[in-house]
Amino acid sequence: MARSTEEVLDHHLQAVGTGNLDGILEDYGGGSVIISADDGVLTSRDQWSKLFQGLFAEFAKPGMTFSLDKKIVEGDTAFIAWSAETADNVYNLGTDTFTVRDDKIVSQTFVAHKTAR
C-alpha cells in the first residue's frame, strides 16, 4: 500500500534528522529532481547524496539548533518552513516544497536565507 504524502514527508524528515542517507535516498525515484537555489537542478542519486552529505557535515557540528516552524500538506504537495543555527551559519528561514506521487518525492525545491557567523 502506497504511503500518503504526509507519511513520505514524515519519513523524509526523520531520515534527514537522524542523518540516514539511505533512508533519504529511498524517498526519491529514478526521475526525481531537487531544485536548490544554491546548487541548481539535481537529477541523480549521486548529486542528491552530495547535497545531503554537505548538509550533514554542517548540521552535525556541536551547538546546532533546528526548528520546524510550519508543515502544510495538501494532496500530493507538502511545504515546510524552518529555521536553524549551526556553528557556521544562521538560517533565518528555510523552505522546502515537495511533490509526492506513487510513494516517492518526484520534485523538491529548497531555499534558505542564511547568514555566516
pLDDT in tens, 28-80: 999 999 999 999 999 999 999 999 999 999 999 999 999 999 999 999 999 99
pLDDT in tens, 12-37: 999 999 999 999 999 999 999 999 99
CB atoms within 10 A of CB 24: 23
Domain range for 30 is 5-116
C-alpha cell read off for 115 = 547568514
Could you give the number of structural domains in the chain? 1
Residue 88's CATH number: 3.10.450.50
Contacts of 22 (CB under 8 A, 6+ apart): none
